[in-house]
Structure 1
């Protein structure tokens, strides 16, 4: 895949997450079954895993040397987690019918870690010898 396409896809995905995280709470269905399986937390975990992986995948394709990629991956993960935490405050103060939820931040962090692990796996699998 071309680097520009990967960057564009990562940017579009970021915008999608921004829209989803700022939708009013009334836009989501109220289903008790989904609460029982912690569906919201799984969505946060998956959403942030994909976010971190997409940006790191762009770095994999962009990066030419073998040094410094791990620290760049970690920076992406930390920035994504900071974004998730910031969005919880946005939901608390500016989005109607949404609330601040620490467990969402924990799920975001778990997703960031999953995205980091996947990024390292893909990098090690595809790096030149």
Structure 2
């Protein structure tokens, strides 16, 4: 999704929810709480979720709250919106939406990292600052 497309979507009347991997990910897997909350917002508001890859903020061994140094190369890339999934029950709709968002976010981060040549940290989240 280009910056112009994101700007057009943000400026439009429709609500949306953005989710980046730092909020949703602890180590290699997204946290259930963050995804459940995002799925709930999407389903309740009828808003698509926009996966956001924020790359280059942390290297292997650096804590999660580390502030990147001056001139460190950062990449922020917006993915394609993920629509909330209808189902027979609210619980099933939340589960389907959360699963779809988790898969879309993981795929978007991996593809963005490969496209921009950014190496993802090889360790878990580590301590926070």
* Fold similarity call, TM over 0.5: no
Under a length normalisation based on structure 1, what TM-score does the superposition of the two structures give? 0.35
Point out which structure has higher relative CO (alpha carbons under 8 A, 6+ apart).
1
**Quick check: which one's helix share is greater?**
1
Which entry has the higher C-alpha Rg, 1 or 2?
1
**Quick check: which one's strand share is greater?**
2
